[in-house]
Amino acid sequence: MEREGNDCVVREKSHLTLDDDEAPNLSSTLWLERVGEVILTFNQDGLTWKLMESLGNDDSICFGIKYVSKVATEIRISDIYAVELTDHDLVHISNLPHANEHLFVGHEKKMYRFTVHGFTRSKNQPSQLILVEYTFGHKNLQMCQMWVNQLNASLNLEVGRPRNLLVFVHPRSGKGTGCRTWETVAPIFSRAKVETKVIVTERAGQAFEVMSSITNKELNSYDGVVAVGGDGFFNEILNGFLSPRLKAPNPPTPSDFVHLVKDTGDSLVRDENETIAETSNDSEDQFPLVSTLEQSGSRISYSCSEDMDPEFPIPNERFRFGIIPAGSTDAIVICTTGARDPITSALQIVLGKRVHLDIAQVVRWKTTPMSEVEPYVRYAASFSGYGFYGDVITESEKYRWMGPKRYDYAGTMVFLRHRSYEAEIAYLDVQSDETNLTSKRNRQGSLLRALGAPHKPERYICRVNCIVCNEKPDVATTGVSDLTPHLYSEKRRWVKSKGRFLSVGAAVISCRNEKAPDGLVADAHLSDGFLHLILIRDCPHASYLWHLTQLTRRGGSPLNFKFVEHHKTPAFTFTSSGTESVWNLDGEIFQAHKLSAQVFRGLVCMFASGPEV
């Protein structure tokens, strides 16, 4: 409720009672701004208030303030982010219009106020949070102070709310509104008594350097890191955080990948006796299984690098990442909070929300066909794409002066060229119940298309308290090797797909955005331990346009085409047959002729709760 109208003073009245559970209930008669005289009650769940009958002749008017018939009557403690005593803005009774003097002892009594800051949900978009504030007034300062102390004591009991954050602001992100966006949400952090150390970056790579060089001792003094910018800026911060601290074996690879990486001793799955199934445009349903994967060192272990303080564990339940959207796409924010809204993101951060997020590890083995084998590790939180996606990000760099519109222009130019690329992809098929279900739906869709029948596959959308994302072991008790559980499925095999592709994409999450309301993969989850490998084979121009059109439609079926392959996998490899190979990693250019990738389930925690349905 916005601050409008005048405040009123009422008779002192308060009492403390105990309910059946022996929890204290505080009750007082106060004035609620823009509403009138109320009985305010505090209980273990939050605040409730009840409008008292008017003491004047007109039941609808009090001191010139008209009663509101439809107003909120409660707010939960979990929905309150701050309480402020506003005694600096006192109101004299003699200044109130139409004051009924017989209600007060003297005309110069001052009114003290305290404001409860919280949020409500948008009626049109449940994931979007809207700021509300309720200002209560009383003539006694001690009365207001008592309420403030009681509410603050309850807020201090809320688990997981941050107290100290490191904030990076990208001033040129998106439309160049990074600083203005931070100025908009900064008061929320201030009211919530969250200390923030703000770094406004001045050049590309600065956030990476700060995160990679900061000591673990200093990092432990923060409850998390907040990025004010887009997906690419968050990727920079994430890589700066993980690169010096996370040491894990390289992604698993099939046998014909071994000759490039066998000297490193880091690859997880390298079975010389395995059989690799190859697919062409017409994929078969049955493939040979990998004979065995029981090799020493096949279990993942995590540790800090030797030059880092080993007292910062990864994964870390306490330390979380937040994003205040100010980018061109903001897909990660939309997928984790459900809304592309700085206020919503700021509130979920100060309220200490938590959701786990999968992270993909991408290892580039060769930059070009003629280059030496030099493994280089990068991490991605949303998407890695080649072909069309790599061409768009490369083309868009020529038009940075256009702002976010450069992606639309670059996408149009790349689409008109309709370039396809020769490549070979191998992915680990783990044949879990969930992947079998996806493959079954895809096969059913192909059959129905052949029969000319309409088909819309059933989707299991990720949401708040998602059952799929929450079904994972506790890494604190079972070990961090469980971050890659699907690598050790009993039914596992390498499947190879080669040919000419318009694009190759690996989505960690659904990648919802304003251009694609359902994302690239509508039923992708935030933390299920799978990559969604999307292979778009060469096809007529009109067919590819229809696929892209389906992406822009809510409820569309962009994967329901014969030239589209969709595979859920924990790992894959890629080898280009061309001389140049450019990938798009979370909106950043990444050159890689040969690479391997795997996903770590729930590796990092985000200040978010997932999208509301």
Token readout for 296 is 């020493």
- Kindly name the residue from 231, 341, 528, 586 that is annotated as catalytic: 231
Residue 459: half-sphere exposure toward Cβ, Cα within 13 Å: 22
- 137's enclosing H/E stretch is strand 129-138
Nearest CA among 483, 498, 584, 573 for reference residue 261: 573
Report the alpha-carbon distance of residue 433 to residue 441 in Å, rounded. 12
> Nearest Cα to 390, choosing from 158, 576, 246, 597?
576
User: Dihedrals φ, ψ of 549, to 5°?
Assistant: -65, -40
Contact 138, 6 (CB under 8 A): no
Contact 446, 457 (CB under 8 A): no
Contact partners, residue 354, CB within 8 Å, separation at least 6: 160, 317, 320, 605, 606, 607, 608, 609
Catalytic-residue membership of 58: no
Query: What is the DSSP code string of 319-379?
Result: -EEEEEE-SS--HHHHHHHSS--HHHHHHHHHTT--EEEEEEEEEEEESSTTS----EEEE
In the numeric block, the tokens 């409660």 are attached to 74
Asked if 529 and 407 touch (Cβ cutoff 8 Å), the reply is no
148 vs 160: CA distance, rounded Å: 21
Q: Tell me if 64 sits within 8 A of 4, measured CB to CB.
A: no
Contacting residues for 253 by C-beta, under 8 A, at least 6 apart:
261, 267, 269, 270, 426, 573, 596
Alpha carbon of 494 to those of 125, 261, 277, 436, 443: distances in Å?
42, 17, 6, 15, 20
- Give the amino acid at 438: T
Q: Is the dihedral of CA 202, 204, 210, 213 positive or negative?
A: negative
| CA distances, 545 to each of 392, 541, 580, 584 (Å) | 15, 6, 25, 21
Contact 395, 410 (CB under 8 A): yes
Q: How far apart are CA 404 and CA 406, in angstroms?
A: 5
Rounded CA-CA distance 382/41 in Å is 45
Which among 158, 135, 157, 159 has a CA at the least distance from the CA of 147? Answer: 135
**Phi–psi pair at 427, nearest 5 degrees:** -130, 150
User: In whole angstroms, what separates CA 401 from the centre of its chain?
Assistant: 28
Give the integer Cα–Cα distance in Å for 246 and 262. 21
- For the chain, the distance separating the N- and C-terminal CA atoms, rounded to the nearest angstrom, is 25
What tokens appear for 288 in the block? Answer: 């040979």
Beta bridge partners of 604: 357
Active site residues: 231
